[in-house]
Chains A and B, each alone.
Chain A
């Protein structure tokens, strides 16, 4: 009898577990798909196309009142206007999204702050980045790491101490790797980005060997997510590290590989930079 009950319980458990998870509506699935395509376009630098797709996704999310989707696609739209240098529309959308976040989903305020930090960092307004980083209080490991990365880089650029931020990122990196392995990260790029940032900070201190370890780690995770532009950057900076360590052979090999990768990505600026490095090493 006991065995029968156990068997039946297992049967019910397995039966229930085979039931499909929450099924999203077709509009949400379409919106997610549009978001994915928009992100691909953005990565390729096709900002006008990305803007159009993000606006479509925004409309689809609005049609089903998916607040999180509305906010995320809205922030992406704001970013595209920044890239397209349409600052008037950028400001209008930023205000609009700010209103939605405050009234509907204040937990996502960190996303808006992150965007503003990104813009401030791009404009080399490091004091603004540091000021904004204090507003971005979140328990989310991914967002927190990204905030700390911008903070570290801003401190570094403004010649301030960044040991505390380094330790936080290094500590977070372990957790992020575990989350990566469990496939629980929303944006897997954060792992390689964190490793790269730490490597960069060490490079600035001319700790080349330590830096290489982080760059290799970044390279490993970029390979796993097929982040081609990230891979090219990883190889290029590793080449610099080897060059500074006096390992010309490895450095040359890294720059040649980096040049090929940049050429494939149609990044003429970085391709030329890699070629210069090759030339300097082969002279």
Chain B
């Protein structure tokens, strides 16, 4: 039987209509998220350069996005004229004596704009009016006069601290600047005294090198006496040496005492020890060989074990398979199997 839709046109129309509605809905949602339909208020500003600026650069106030850079152009005086758009809900934040701070991230090269609000919040700045940036003299004046406060920038703070540190390192007599500089200051003073110490040490070494100098002090007298004592010890050592020379070969004494002929104990013992040495050498070779082969052996054992485990699982699966179970010969273990006597006497 041929299958056929009854209302093909209507069904296609519904699908098409739904698709159009979905597209429009998506576009509206995107436009709303981009604030396309929001009312915006425009103000002008000026920067010394356009580094890091783009049409998507946003203007922040207290962490909120209150507007964005609309357009910027290089004017005849080689500064940048820019126009910022402020969203409707933040319109009343734009007051007189406010400023814009352009901070450029040295790592990414992108700039962010921060709105610095003026002190009098009741004096709303009319639209299209000029908001100076801190790059420009007007903005710097507002900052100096305390109309706006610039929030600490992290990178700038780090660089400032590095600059201060480098300055302090180049200065002398500044132990009050901190523990590090006090330590450096003391180290410098210590090196000054080192020359005197080295000179004195040199004199001391000269005295030590001289003989018969008891007039130099107690220590040198002690050293002189120790030198005399070592001469005496030298004579004693010669005598001890002679004594040891006499008892250098005690074997004969022990041999005469234990085994005069040497055939009963020492010769068999020597042979045993030599044989043992040979055996130990062979044993060492065997052990070395086994040690060398050990990784391969253990590897083989491990692989065999894995293979057996896999085989066991496979056989278990095969055994449990309902289609094969009937075909596998069942093991009959532990059954009575009597001896069946067969008679052969047929002649």
Q: Which residues of A contact B (CB under 8 A)?
A: 14, 17-20, 28-29, 31-33, 35-36, 39, 42, 57, 61, 68-69, 72-73, 75-76, 79, 111, 114-115, 118, 121-122, 146, 149, 153, 183, 185-187, 189-190, 193, 196-197, 200, 203-204, 230, 233, 236-237, 240-241, 270, 273
Contact = CB atoms under 8 A, between A and B. Distances in A.
B322 A17 contact: yes
B334 A19 contact: no
A50 B334 CA distance: 14
Interface in B25-70: none
Nearest to B341: A121
B333 to A, nearest CB: 3
A18 B334 contact: no
B330 A57 contact: no
Given A18-B322, A204-B346, A236-B344, A72 B338 contact: no
Contacts of B331: 32
A209 to B, nearest CB: 14
Contact of A146 (B321, B332, B340, B343): B340
B321 to A, nearest CB: 7
Nearest to A115: B338
A24 to B, nearest CB: 9
Interface centre among B330, B334, B337, B341 (most CB of A within 10 A): B334
Given A118-B339, A121-B341, A153-B341, 6 more contacts: A35-B335, A114-B338, A115-B338, A118-B338, A190-B340, A193-B342
A54 to B, nearest CB: 11
Contacts of B316: 20
A233 B319 CA distance: 36
Contacts of A230: 342
B334 to A, nearest CB: 4
Interface residue tally of chain B, by bracket?
Answer: 20 to 34
Interface of B: 316, 319-322, 325, 329-344, 346-347
Nearest to B325: A17
A210 B154 CA distance: 114
A183 B335 contact: no
A36 B341 contact: no
Given A233-B344, A237-B346, A146 B338 contact: yes
A187 B335 contact: yes
B338 A31 contact: no
Contacts of A57: 334
B329 A183 contact: yes
Nearest to A13: B322
A14 B338 CA distance: 39
B322 to A, nearest CB: 4
Nearest to A233: B342
B322 A186 contact: no
A244 to B, nearest CB: 8
A39 B337 contact: yes
A237 B334 contact: no
Contacts of B329: 183
Contact of B338 (A32, A33, A187): A187
A186 B332 contact: yes
A187 B337 contact: yes
5 contacts: A183-B329, A189-B337, A204-B346, A237-B344, A241-B346
A18 B346 contact: no
